[in-house]
Amino acid sequence: MPTGTNIRTYHDGTWHDGDIAVMRPADHGAWLGSSVFDGARFAHGLTPDLDKHCARVNASAHALSITPTVDPGDMVEIIREGLSAYPKDAAVYIRPLYWAIDGDITMVQAKKGHTGFAVSLEEIPMAPPEASATLTRTRFRRPVLEDAVVNAKAGCLYPNNARMLAEARAKGFSNALVADAIGNVAESATSNVFAVKDGEVFTPVPNGTFLSGITRARHIANLRADGVRVHETVMSFDDFHDADEVFLSGNLMKVTPVTAFDDTHYQIGPVTRRVRELYWDWAASAG
């Protein structure tokens, strides 16, 4: 089911109106889950880090042994062409994706060149600044590279995220704060996570169990340029209970304030507000 509205799809060299069918039941991606995707944004007339998202979907394809077929620069131009059909004030989620067509149950690797490619554009509004999330713990954990393709933004990883969310929502929370294999905090079920303590910012160090996001990196760079100390470090759940502010970082909404982690409550604080301001100031300056 689509998340947004006013959908356009690029497939087989042209743009189509609507959420058209692009994958066949016998495609490797359909029956064995060999698909990767990425997510970028068009908002306020801007496409922040679009080139990095297009490069990352190709890197994800390589990680899953899929042969990418579109140069990232060409992908950017395809997406810009598709976006030209939307109003300048639209907020659009941009999703390029690959899937393997050939292969069998004994070989995940797709044959060279036998790759499906599409781009889906959907209008999804940006959340208002006051929109927030609440977090709880989950019994499910992030996998490690020896168990799963955690070095790719792969579709096959997301059922695990979905059961984290289902558990959190059954407990009355909107998202989950998730541990890695040894019990340290990795991220939320949907995005990277930051904590603020005494004006300094802390975030779990990338350890191979979660995707260190493009938007995460942009926030770190912006904060450091603004004179804020940012620490990438090993973090416990107690560190988040002890925090003054907590916020999530993801491409879909860029910055999401957290107002509760189980029985700990937070205000939407000045650092969280500043992160959002810095992000869109940077995006406007970068064009």
Q: DSSP letter for 73, please.
A: H
pLDDT attached to residue 109: 57
Burial of 265 (0-12, 13-18, 19+ CB in 10 A): exposed
Query: Does pLDDT of 56 surpass 90?
Result: yes
Nearest CA among 226, 232, 241 for reference residue 202:
232
Cα–Cα distance between 252 and 234 in angstroms, integer?
25
Whether 233 contacts 202, CB under 8 Å: yes
pLDDT attached to residue 105: 73
Collect all residues with Cβ–Cβ distance below 8 Å to 193 and sequence separation of at least 6. Answer: 177, 185, 187, 203, 204, 240, 246, 247, 248, 249, 258
For tokens 């030209």, name the residue.
84
For residue range 198-226, what is the model confidence (pLDDT) as tens digits? Answer: 999 999 999 999 999 999 999 999 999 99
Sign of CA dihedral 230, 94, 252, 233: negative
pLDDT attached to residue 154: 96
Whether 155 contacts 36, CB under 8 Å: yes
For residue range 222-277, what is the model confidence (pLDDT) as tens digits? Answer: 999 999 999 999 999 999 999 999 999 999 999 999 999 999 999 999 999 999 99
Strand partners, 201: 196, 230
Which residue type does 264 have?
A: T
Which residue type does 287 have?
A: G
Query: Does pLDDT of 133 surpass 80?
Result: yes
pLDDT attached to residue 38: 98
Helix (H) or strand (E) holding 30: helix 28-32
Whether 72 contacts 55, CB under 8 Å: yes
pLDDT attached to residue 193: 98
Collect all residues with Cβ–Cβ distance below 8 Å to 108 and sequence separation of at least 6. Answer: 28, 32, 34, 64, 65, 100
Domains of the chain: 5-123 (3.30.470.10), 133-286 (3.20.10.10)
Cα–Cα distance between 166 and 174 in angstroms, integer?
9
pLDDT attached to residue 129: 85
pLDDT attached to residue 186: 98
Mean pLDDT, range 120-149, rounded to an integer: 95
> Phi-psi region for residue 269, left (φ > 0), alpha (ψ -120 to 50) or beta?
beta
For residue range 61-87, what is the model confidence (pLDDT) as tens digits? Answer: 999 989 999 999 999 999 999 999 999
